[in-house]
Amino acid sequence: MSLKSKPSFVLLFALATVFFFGAFPYCCSSSIEEGQKAQFVFTVRLGQIDWETRTLEAPIDIWFENLPDNFKNEKGEYNFSSIPVDFEQWHNSGQVLLLPEGKDSQIIYHGSLPANRFNFRGLTELYPFDSYLLDITFRSPSFDLINENNTMTKPENFVGGFDLREEPGTGNKPFTMTYETQEWGEEVVLNFKVYVSRSPSSTNLIMQVLGICYLLVGSLPLIRPEKLEHRLSVCLSLFIFAVTFTFTIPIPTLNRATLAENLIFILLTGAGAFSVVSVVEKALLEAKQKFAVSRFLIEGLVVLFLVGTLWNALPGLISPQLAAEYAWASFPQELMYLLSASLLFGYVSVTLVFALNILWKNREKIRKRSMAVRLSRK
């Protein structure tokens, strides 16, 4: 190739490159635009909870996007002046009317229902392990377009202190879709379930505080009855804290006591019982020293009463009927074991030490007697 032809070749190559990269995006954008599929988006924004009416603020927002060209006639006018989408949630029902919106070349129908409240179901008695269910069903004309691949449910969580979870539906989708034949055509039925659970941060904070208080109640037997002022100071601190804590944490108002309130009641009972028992034990010791052994019987009865109350109160929150109706509602069963261990550890430790001391003393007496017998034989 001659030197004169090289600049011409480079110029042609540059023009071809510019043309290729200029035309390629256009082709890609055209193919993408032509390949866009219709989308059906159902958005529910979960907001403020009203505990008295047991309702949840939940505005609805529905978008039908990228609809095919047959939604417009030859004059460019919409074939459907509006699209009704019905919704129901247990005994609640309503309708969102989708109206056409012109955005570029896309055909979009949009509708919203800002002021709307849904009823939630759940056992508030399990606070702070309470969780709630919202079961929502939408009904819409299918237009032979709506299917599982182009439909999206978007529950958005704005509930303070709660986390949101969707129940798996058909396949990998968090909803269930069925079709029903009506007089005017085919109707699609879209159902999805949303669970709202209290966030672990708030639950763990409350349970950690109560767990420490239960450990303090369980450690009271470690303080000797002679130290009455130490026992009473711990009991008084627990009593004041439990009362203050009851009015500090945001317990939902109910006719029945919640799990947290039951735990606080047992804590108050334990602090009060050990206060009375400590005074009685101190009086017995001052009357006669040999009554010191009676503390193991008295304190054992108190601890067994507290543990028995714990095991009766917590499972009683969920009857078999409620467990069947609210299958998603539960509290960790290991909670009762951990709290029972917290109440028992001090008493069990003192009792074991006392029993080991008695065995050790008896062993020493037996050893001394055996040595005395050996010496007498010599």
Tokens (6 digits) for 340: 């029972």
Q: Pick from 236, 237, 263: which is nearest to 251 by CA?
A: 263
Q: How far apart are CA 261 and CA 96, in angstroms?
A: 42
Same domain? For 239 and 296 the reply is yes
End residue of a domain, out of 164, 181, 198? 198
Is there a domain that residue 30 lies in? no
Same domain? For 260 and 187 the reply is no
Q: What is the pLDDT of residue 309?
A: 94
Same domain? For 153 and 261 the reply is no
Same domain? For 194 and 291 the reply is no
Phi and psi at residue 281, to the nearest 5°: -65, -40
- H helix intervals, 255-333: 259-287, 294-313, 320-325
Tokens (6 digits) for 1: 């190739």
Contact 280, 298 (CB under 8 A): yes
Same domain? For 212 and 256 the reply is yes
Tokens (6 digits) for 175: 């909803």
Same domain? For 174 and 218 the reply is no
Is there a domain that residue 24 lies in? no
Name the one residue in this structure whose structure tokens are 């203050």.
244
Name the one residue in this structure whose structure tokens are 């799990």.
259
Same domain? For 252 and 138 the reply is no
Is there a domain that residue 15 lies in? no
Q: What is the pLDDT of residue 24?
A: 40
User: What are the mean pLDDT values of the chain's consecutive 10-residue runs (378 residues total)?
Assistant: 50 50 39 60 92 89 90 80 91 90 79 90 89 92 90 90 81 84 88 90 90 93 89 90 82 80 92 91 80 84 94 87 86 91 93 84 70 66
Q: What is the pLDDT of residue 85?
A: 95
List, for residues 254-311, the tens digit of each pLDDT value.
777 889 989 999 999 999 999 999 998 888 888 777 777 888 889 999 999 999 999 9
Same domain? For 186 and 286 the reply is no
- H helix intervals, the chain: 5-35, 200-219, 228-248, 259-287, 294-313, 320-325, 334-377
What residues make up the domain containing 92?
36-198
Same domain? For 152 and 269 the reply is no
End residue of a domain, out of 141, 173, 198? 198
Tokens (6 digits) for 343: 């109440």
Is there a domain that residue 121 lies in? yes
Same domain? For 175 and 321 the reply is no
Name the residue type at position 114. P
Tally helices (H) and strands (E) across the chain.
Answer: 7, 13
Same domain? For 229 and 243 the reply is yes
Check which CATH number belongs to the domain holding 181 and give it.
2.70.170
Tokens (6 digits) for 116: 């709307």
Q: What is the pTM of this model?
A: 0.76
Contact 151, 175 (CB under 8 A): yes
Is there a domain that residue 270 lies in? yes
Same domain? For 245 and 141 the reply is no
Q: What is the pLDDT of residue 88?
A: 93
Q: What is the pLDDT of residue 73?
A: 78
Q: What is the pLDDT of residue 141?
A: 92
Is there a domain that residue 7 lies in? no
CA distances from 36 to 65, 68, 84, 261 (A): 10, 10, 24, 55
Is there a domain that residue 29 lies in? no
End residue of a domain, out of 177, 198, 219? 198
Contact 282, 228 (CB under 8 A): yes
Is there a domain that residue 267 lies in? yes
DSSP state for residue 167 in the 8-state scheme: P
Number of separate domains in the chain: 2
CA atoms within 13 A on the CB side of 248: 10
3-state secondary structure 112-145: EECCCEEECECCHHHCCCCEEEEEEEEEEECCCC
Residue 121 makes CB contacts below 8 A (sequence gap 6+) with 90, 132, 133, 134, 135, 326
The C-alpha angle with vertex 355 and arms to 349 and 358, in degrees rounded to 5, equals 140
